[in-house]
Amino acid sequence: MPAHGSSVADARHRVRARLREWETDEGLRDDAEMIVSELFTNAVMHTGSEFITCGMGYDGTRLRLEVSDQGRAPTAPRPRAAGVDEEGGRGLLLVGALSQAWGVRPTDDGGGRVVWAELGPGAPPF
């Protein structure tokens, strides 16, 4: 998808629709939608990417979400302590609270990075 703020809502809606098709429960859909929104927004705001991709896999128990960018940010994503009056800065804290695990890895072609999160019972990663 294009790396524009307007694509965030499209990504959220696509994730929710696919999770409905997979007949996941409402709580998982809500959490996944929030996480994708945060990760996609961060990629738009902080990476200078032209496009961003979202992927997910579900094994009937655990859900893995991935948001890939072109890796143009000077630093890797990391949670930070936002001030009380700041509007932003809490997204990755929220991702950490809603997921069992999350992290960052290079894309398969090395031209960017993937920020991923896993939801579901605490189990080894995919």
The overall pTM is greater than 0.85: no
Convert the pLDDT of each residue in 34-59 to its tens digit: 999 999 998 888 888 899 999 999 99
Range among 41-55, 75-89, 112-126 with highest mean pLDDT value: 41-55
Pick the CATH number of 6-79+86-119 from 3.30.470.20, 3.20.20.70, 3.30.70.141, 3.30.565.10: 3.30.565.10
Q: Residue 81: what pLDDT?
A: 60
Distance CA 102, CA 113 (A): 13
Domain coordinates in residue numbering, the chain: 6-79+86-119
Convert the pLDDT of each residue in 11-38 to its tens digit: 999 999 999 999 998 999 999 999 999 9
Burial 78-91 (b: 16+ CB within 10 A, else e): eeeeeeeeeeeeeb
